[in-house]
Amino acid sequence: MNKKSRNPYYHIVYWIFVILTLTLVFGFSWGNNTAAFFFVCMLLPIVLGTSYFFNYVLVPKFYLTKRYARFAFYTFCMAVVSLYLEMLVLVVSYVYLVNLSYQNLNPNATQIIILAVILYLLVFIGSFILMMHQIIENRQVIQQLLAEKEKMKKPFLEITSNRKIAKIPYEDIVFIESLSDYIQVNTATEQIVSKEKISNLESRLPDVFIRIHRSFIINKEKIKSISFDEVVVNDVQLNIGRSYRKAVKDSLQKD
């Protein structure tokens, strides 16, 4: 819950659902879907603000850190502010949009508690959806960490070279180069050749290694300098492939 979904389409689809739901609810109550749509458009900023404030401020900052008293207090304050803003929107909608008198409206449309129930129901539905999405993302992260831990059980790269098994400590590897139908593992003191595809090798390496080019995988701990399209590892200058630049930048920023 402390991280927004990386896919904005989840949010877009959800808020389209919110608009349709509120329009149908108030349109049915008023007998006027057009007026209800305009009213919902005015109400939507309150729903958005309440939802994101609750999900991305109150929950991670207070609830998840077990500061329940502050969480309850600020949630109450949020509810009061939301209800106050709802009343303002209701008044403005009567005056400027709906053009109806308060008495002529269906009683259900004038009960602020119904507005609050719908508002917070949608907020908590959104919270549940976001929480489930976060659980899925967390599981994926856990699986990645477990896979990384499994790779690190062996502190060396094991490859076949000259019909023998070579075990090269990860810390000794500077970079790996793909040369036609074989690869060359470069350390500070030697080059070890193996008939293996670089793509297969990449999946077996821990996160300390990153692919910067279709022909190069480097040890991030050996980087001396880096620019937009080049990296220097142990005095060897290598090009960063155009399609790999963003991934390289993101990986190094995490470190």
pLDDT in tens, 219-248: 999 999 998 889 999 889 999 999 999 988
Backbone angles phi, psi at 71, to 5 degrees: -60, -45
In angstroms, the CA 122 to CA 84 distance is: 18
**What share of the chain in percent tops pLDDT 70?**
78
User: How do residues 44-88 score in pLDDT, each as one tens digit?
Assistant: 788 788 878 887 888 778 877 888 899 899 988 988 888 788 778
Tokens of 196: 């293996």
Residue 112 neighbours by CB under 8 Å, 6+ apart: 83, 86, 87, 90
Q: What angle do CA 25, 31, 35 make, to 5 degrees?
A: 75
Domains of the chain, CATH where assigned: 8-150 (no CATH), 156-254 (2.40.50.1020)
* 119 or 21, greater pLDDT: 21
User: Do 63 and 71 touch, CB atoms closer than 8 A?
Assistant: yes
SS3 for the chain, per residue?
CCCCCCCHHHHHHHHHHHHHHHHHHHHHHHCCHHHHHHHHHHHHHHHHHHHHHHHHHHHHHHHCCCCHHHHHHHHHHHHHHHHHHHHHHHHHHHHHHHCCCHHHCCHHHHCHHHHHHHHHHHHHHHHHHHHHHHHHHHHHHHHHHHHHHHHHCCCEEEEEECCEEEEEEHHHEEEEEEECCEEEEEECCCEEEECCCHHHHHHHCCCCEEEEECCEEEEHHHEEEECCCEEEECCEEEECCHHHHHHHHHHHHHC
**What share of the chain in percent tops pLDDT 90?**
20
112-152 and 68-92 helices cross at what angle (nearest 10)? 130
- For the chain, the average pLDDT equals 78
* 1 or 180, greater pLDDT: 180
User: How do residues 141-162 score in pLDDT, each as one tens digit?
Assistant: 777 777 666 655 668 888 888 8
In the prediction, which pLDDT does 151 show? 58
